[in-house]
């Protein structure tokens, strides 16, 4: 919808006033509070035009308007283009060891939640988005083998496997050498994994042993949820409850299981810039009273994980977008420095 500059300002004023107060905004209030240089009747006509265009709505019979999801979207897109800067919400100890990456991600989620007063999520570098640096296959006991995968992002994943029969240490050593030769530098979750574990060069005993280890290399779903750091769940539920949002039970279940949230973050991982979904742009009814603001962090122009904030559609988009950007940039700087 093409708008005149004044109408863009009127829309922005309505959105920001409604975000601040939660009350419908009328033409009389706008004319008295803002210098638009026109009569209140002209502002009233602008509000009617914005409502006809689907950017504003009448919640009741009052003269005041509130933003629709489309109105929030137009406003937020303008905010994204402005690239407002804020101070980084959390700083990291650069002297920390590589094993403390998860601590940095957790601190970022907690700081974001405190700064925005909303639910914050930070996804750890995904196994399917990073390449393998090294693999260890260790025979811990006669019947117990541990597999350790180290990725180029610094993330360490391990899993212990129990066997009914004693495991030949030579078989574990074969697996270590073979898997490093075939997989180092490759991406988990790709066809390379399938071809490695089903290679015709493998003998029966080797193939059977590797088949047991395969799940750790196809790590996805529930295993990935351990790499999602969340802060501020109670803040979000309290806000949505006070605003009368529906589907709170479904939202709580999603926050507990996290699978669907990870799907959205994986979508964000494939995009550059700010990833934004507002209200009915979210596919699940339990999230359609919410907006998601996300930005990626990474190294060497490569996205590794996502920093995001989930809140009601009536959130402070200026502050949230700028803060999410700053947190993502800070994590990228941290990873670049330690790696």
Do 140 and 180 lie in a common domain?
A: yes
Give residue 306's pLDDT: 92
The number of folded domains in the chain is 3
Q: What are phi and psi of 296, to 5 degrees?
A: -95, 150
Residues pairing with 187 in the sheet: 131
3-state secondary structure of 68: coil
Q: Is 72 within the bounds of a domain?
A: no
Mind giving me the DSSP string for 261-293?
Answer: HHHHHHHHHTSSS-EEEEGGGSSSGGGTTEEEE
Do 326 and 232 lie in a common domain?
A: yes
Among 199, 223, 247, give the residue marking a domain's end.
223
Do 162 and 213 lie in a common domain?
A: yes
Give residue 152's pLDDT: 66
Q: Which residue bears the tokens 């109670």?
A: 234
Residue 153, pLDDT > 80, answer no
Do 170 and 189 lie in a common domain?
A: yes
Q: What is the pLDDT of residues 156-177, one digit of tens each?
A: 778 899 999 999 889 999 999 9
Give the pLDDT band (50/70/90) at residue 313. Answer: very high
Decide if 137 contacts 172 (C-beta within 8 A): yes
Token pair, residue 330, equals: 């800070």
Q: What is the pLDDT of residues 48-73, one digit of tens each?
A: 999 999 999 988 766 799 999 999 99
Question: For 334, what's the count of Cα atoms within 13 Å in the CB-facing half-sphere?
Answer: 28
Alpha helix locations (H) across the chain?
A: 5-21, 27-33, 40-52, 69-82, 101-116, 169-183, 191-197, 204-217, 222-225, 233-242, 248-257, 259-269, 317-338
Q: What is the pLDDT of residues 228-260, one digit of tens each?
A: 888 888 888 888 878 777 777 777 777 766 666
Q: Apex CA 108: angle with CA 188 and CA 239, to 5°? A: 110
Q: Tell how strand 275-278 and strand 228-231 pair up.
A: unpaired
Give residue 97's pLDDT: 40
Decide if 30 contacts 12 (C-beta within 8 A): no
141: left (phi over 0), alpha (psi -120 to 50) or beta: beta
Q: Which domain holds residue 329?
A: 90-124+227-338
pTM exceeding 0.85: no
Q: Is 77 within the bounds of a domain?
A: no
The closest of 252, 258, 328 to 297, measured between CA atoms, is: 328
Decide if 313 contacts 74 (C-beta within 8 A): no
Give residue 31's pLDDT: 93
CA distance 15 to 11: 6
Token pair, residue 207, equals: 């193939």
Residues pairing with 275 in the sheet: 294
Do 49 and 31 lie in a common domain?
A: yes
Q: Which segment, 28-37, 96-105, 190-199, is predicted with the most confidence on average?
A: 28-37
The closest of 331, 317, 334 to 116, measured between CA atoms, is: 317
Do 277 and 185 lie in a common domain?
A: no
Give residue 178's pLDDT: 95
Residue 190, pLDDT > 80, answer no
Q: Which residue bears the tokens 């989620």?
A: 109
Residue 184, pLDDT > 80, answer yes
149: left (phi over 0), alpha (psi -120 to 50) or beta: beta
Give the pLDDT band (50/70/90) at residue 210. Answer: very high
Question: Looking at per-residue confidence, does 241 or 155 come out higher?
Answer: 241
Decide if 317 contacts 76 (C-beta within 8 A): yes
DSSP letter at 59?
Answer: S
Among 18, 52, 67, give the residue marking a domain's end.
67
Q: Is 292 within the bounds of a domain?
A: yes
Token pair, residue 57, equals: 């709505």
Token pair, residue 41, equals: 């009747």
Q: Tell me how long the chain is.
A: 339
Token pair, residue 7, equals: 């109408």
Q: Is 82 within the bounds of a domain?
A: no
Residue 117, pLDDT > 50, answer yes
Looking up residue 31, the CATH number of its domain turns out to be 1.10.10.10
Q: Is 160 within the bounds of a domain?
A: yes
Q: Apex CA 277: angle with CA 272 and CA 278, to 5°? A: 150
């Amino acid at each position: 919808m093409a708008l005149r500059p004044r109408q863009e300002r009127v829309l922005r004023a309505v959105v920001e006033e409604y975000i601040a107060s939660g009350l419908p905004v009328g033409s009389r209030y706008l004319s008295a509070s803002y210098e638009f240089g026109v009569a209140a009747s002209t502002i009233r006509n602008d509000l009617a035009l914005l409502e006809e265009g689907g950017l504003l709505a009448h919640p009741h019979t009052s003269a005041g308007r509130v933003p629709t999801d489309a109105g929030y979207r137009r406003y937020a897109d303008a905010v994204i283009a402005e690239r407002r800067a804020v101070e980084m919400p959390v700083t990291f100890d650069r002297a920390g060891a590589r094993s403390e990456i998860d601590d940095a991600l957790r601190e970022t989620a907690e700081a974001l939640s405190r700064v925005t007063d909303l639910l914050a999520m930070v996804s750890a570098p995904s196994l399917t988005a990073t390449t393998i640096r090294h693999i260890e296959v260790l025979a811990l006991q006669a019947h117990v083998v541990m597999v350790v995968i180290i990725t180029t992002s610094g993330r360490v994943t391990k899993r212990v496997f129990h066997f009914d029969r004693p495991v030949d240490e030579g078989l574990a050593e074969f697996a270590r050498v073979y898997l490093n030769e075939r997989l180092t530098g490759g991406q988990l979750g790709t066809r390379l994994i399938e071809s490695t574990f089903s290679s015709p060069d493998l003998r029966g005993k080797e193939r059977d042993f590797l088949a047991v280890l395969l799940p750790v290399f196809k790590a996805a779903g529930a295993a990935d949820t351990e790499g999602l750091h969340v802060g501020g769940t109670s803040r979000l539920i309290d806000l949505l409850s006070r605003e009368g949002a529906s589907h709170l039970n479904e939202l709580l279940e999603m926050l507990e299981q996290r699978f669907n949230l990870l799907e959205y973050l994986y979508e964000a991982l494939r995009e550059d810039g700010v990833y934004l979904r507002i209200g009915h742009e979210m596919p699940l009814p339990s999230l359609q009273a919410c907006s998601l603001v996300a930005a990626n962090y990474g190294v060497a122009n490569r996205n590794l994980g996502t920093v995001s904030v989930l809140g009601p559609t009536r959130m402070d988009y200026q502050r949230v977008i700028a803060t999410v950007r700053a947190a993502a940039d800070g994590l990228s700087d941290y990873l670049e420095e330690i790696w």
